[in-house]
């Protein structure tokens, strides 16, 4: 059933107060007007709208605008005194629900509903109902536009552009058009129209270049809690040295995740857990995964989720996961997951509820959200998170081999416009035994500073000197890293 029919049903349920939390006022008022006109032949009920600026006005018939009863107390007293049925829409009335006089007036209207059918609709972005009115209220969630409705909105935007620009026709890439309609899912009618208009009117075309901007704007509309971050720059696997087995694993699952032709019978992949030594490329691999799948990358920050107030942490997590669902298809990157899911000192109860919320979402989600979780210490993770079926695979990112160290070194030198012919890559890679990718990069950065101070071009000797002065993490924390490698052997899949 569409939103129009659902709203009419709840209006006929004889509930005195109906609450609608939505930013799409214009559409809801349009639906209410259509319902009022449709009911005119059987049980006609006049429709009124109130705002603090314009007061009470008649909506179902055309009358000269009259500002009456602009004060909240006055309008509620007026509604209570009316002896005929009516539907009263109060816009942004939520601040006035804290006044006990308004609560009592509303309760009087509700109690006398059987005598006079005066129905009140409260529309605002958020409505907190006082306990005294709970039993008289029903909530209505405005349905978001489905695929056919989104396609209609996009087509209306295309037709509007043609009218505004005579002689010019919107250039449409069929695949991009299909993806645009799909990616607009989860937005209100107004926001869908706004983003579709932006995509069409910028260049008079619908092509692949429109999709990143649409997804970025969609994320900014949806993520108001701040716990999710939209990663604008995603790396390519060309920027990642090694990880050949992980690259191959992702490439095999890309068609199933994207729903490409010929892969519709395959279950979409759920996600991976990347365990490994710090600085070996786990975060970079998470970013590159989004590039492989060709979808947006969202980063979940557990630090922004935890709140001192009871229940707020779980609410923030639920809202963040709902945003990820609406943004699908996407990659959800959870960096250092053990710090958010494992024990957090005295917050044992909160941590357990967060874990329960996260596991429930992982088990029940139907959206195409691919999880990439990274961890430095899997021993602190609860067993119910790492059991088979939660993630498709657990990969171990180890210290790079000599060959991979050489490729990482070449990547960082090339990215800084250093001619590779000036360096003995093999000799440097051999001397960097035990270095992580991050430590190799830092050696290049430090040697550039040293060469610049000496006013010399960077060469092998400068990098060699920095390597000799560095004690890598594999030496500083040798026992801990050895224990991690022993645990990972036979329990995880090597990335190389």
Give CA–CA dist 159/151, Å, rounded.
12
Superfamily name with CATH number, domain 237-397: P-loop containing nucleotide triphosphate hydrolases (3.40.50.300)
Nearest to 327, CA basis, from 227, 195, 186, 200: 186
Backbone angles phi, psi at 441, to 5 degrees: -60, -45
The full DSSP string for 74-86 is: HHHHHHHH--S-E
Same-fold call for 147-222 versus 237-397: no
Yes or no: say if 194 and 184 are a contact pair by the CB < 8 Å rule. no
CA end-to-end span of the chain, whole Å? 52
Give CA–CA dist 249/321, Å, rounded.
25
Give CA–CA dist 92/124, Å, rounded.
5
**In which region does residue 58 sit, left (phi positive, over 0), alpha (psi from -120 to 50) or beta (all else)?**
beta
Topology of domain 147-222, CATH: Helicase, Ruva Protein; domain 3 (1.10.8)
Give CA–CA dist 206/171, Å, rounded.
6
Q: Across the chain, how many H-helices and E-strands are there?
A: 21, 15
Nearest to 214, CA basis, from 177, 242, 248, 250: 177
Give CA–CA dist 362/358, Å, rounded.
6
Q: Tokens representing 341?
A: 């899911």
Distances (CA, A) of 3 to 21, 31, 46, 144, 189: 14, 8, 21, 8, 12
Distances (CA, A) of 69 to 50, 51, 60, 116: 9, 10, 18, 20
Q: What is the full per-residue pLDDT of the chain (496 aa) written as tens digits?
A: 456 678 888 888 889 999 998 888 888 888 888 888 877 666 778 899 999 988 888 887 765 555 566 899 999 999 999 988 999 999 999 999 999 999 999 999 999 998 888 999 999 988 999 999 989 999 988 777 888 888 999 999 999 988 888 888 888 888 888 888 888 887 888 888 889 998 898 888 898 888 888 888 887 777 665 677 877 666 676 667 778 888 889 988 888 888 776 777 788 889 999 888 888 878 888 888 888 888 888 888 777 777 766 667 788 888 888 888 887 888 999 888 887 776 544 446 777 888 888 888 888 888 889 999 888 877 778 888 887 778 899 888 888 888 888 888 998 898 888 888 888 889 998 999 888 888 888 999 999 998 999 898 898 898 988 888 888 888 888 888 888 888 878 788 888 7
Nearest to 398, CA basis, from 334, 481, 289, 475: 481
The per-residue pLDDT for 346 is: 44
Nearest to 97, CA basis, from 89, 87, 88, 107: 107
Q: What CATH number should be reported for the domain whose range is 402-476?
A: 1.10.8.60
Topology of domain 3-139, CATH: Rossmann fold (3.40.50)
The DSSP bridge partners found for residue 68 are 56
The per-residue pLDDT for 1 is: 41
Yes or no: say if 469 and 443 are a contact pair by the CB < 8 Å rule. no
Beta-carbon contacts of residue 418 (< 8 Å; ≥ 6 apart)? 458
What ranges do the domains of the chain cover?
A: 3-139, 147-222, 237-397, 402-476
Cis link prior to 328 (omega < 30° from 0)?
A: no
Q: pTM for the complete prediction?
A: 0.69
Yes or no: say if 407 and 242 are a contact pair by the CB < 8 Å rule. yes
């Amino acid at each position: 059933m569409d939103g129009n029919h659902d709203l009419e049903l709840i209006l006929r349920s004889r509930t005195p107060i109906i609450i609608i939390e939505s930013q799409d006022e214009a559409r809801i008022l349009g639906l209410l007007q259509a319902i009022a006109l449709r009911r005119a032949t059987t049980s006609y009920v006049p429709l009124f709208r109130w705002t603090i600026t314009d007061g009470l006005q008649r909506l179902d018939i055309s009358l000269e605008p009259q500002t009456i009863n602009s004060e909240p107390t006055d309008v509620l007293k007026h509604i209570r005194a009316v002896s005929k049925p009516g539907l009263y829409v109060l816009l942004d009335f939520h601040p006035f629900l804290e006044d006990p006089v308004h609560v009592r007036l509303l309760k009087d209207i509700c109690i006398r509903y059987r005598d006079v059918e005066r129905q009140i609709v409260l529309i605002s972005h958020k409505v907190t109902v006082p306990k005294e009115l709970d039993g008289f209220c029903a909530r209505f969630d405005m349905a978001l536009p489905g695929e056919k409705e989104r396609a209609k909105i996009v087509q209306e935007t295309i037709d509007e552009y043609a009218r505004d620009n005579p002689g010019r026709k919107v250039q449409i890439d069929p695949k991009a058009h299909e993806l645009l309609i799909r990616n607009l899912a989860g937005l209100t009618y107004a926001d869908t129209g706004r983003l579709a208009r932006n995509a069409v009117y910028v260049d008079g075309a619908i092509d692949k270049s429109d999709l990143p901007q649409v997804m970025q704007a969609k994320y900014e509309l949806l993520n108001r809690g701040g716990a999710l971050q939209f990663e604008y720059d995603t790396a390519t696997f060309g920027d990642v040295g090694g990880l050949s087995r992980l690259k191959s694993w992702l490439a095999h699952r890309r068609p199933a995740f994207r729903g490409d032709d010929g892969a519709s019978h395959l279950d979409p992949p759920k996600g991976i857990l990347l365990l490994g030594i710090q600085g070996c490329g786990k975060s970079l691999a998470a970013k590159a995964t989004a590039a492989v799948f060709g979808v947006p990358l969202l980063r979940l920050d557990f630090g922004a989720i935890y709140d001192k107030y009871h229940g707020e942490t779980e609410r923030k997590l639920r809202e963040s996961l709902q945003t990820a669902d609406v943004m699908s298809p996407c990659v959800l990157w959870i960096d250092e997951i053990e710090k958010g899911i494992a024990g957090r000192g005295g917050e044992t109860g909160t941590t357990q509820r967060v874990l329960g919320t996260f596991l429930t979402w992982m088990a029940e989600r139907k959206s195409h959200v691919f999880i990439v979780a990274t961890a430095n210490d899997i021993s602190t993770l609860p067993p119910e998170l790492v059991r088979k079926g939660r993630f498709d695979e657990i990969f171990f990112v180890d210290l790079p081999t000599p060959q991979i160290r050489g490729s990482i070194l070449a990547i960082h030198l090339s990215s800084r416009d250093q001619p590779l012919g000036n360096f003995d890559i093999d000799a440097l890679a051999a001397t960097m035994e035990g270095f992580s990718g991050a430590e190799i990069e830092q050696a290049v950065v430090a040697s550039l500073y040293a060469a610049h101070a000496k006013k010399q071009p960077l060469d092998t000797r400068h990098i060699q000197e920095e390597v000799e002065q560095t004690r890598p993490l594999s030496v500083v924390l040798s026992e801990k890293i050895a224990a991690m490698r022993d645990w990972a052997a036979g329990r995880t899949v090597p990335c190389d």
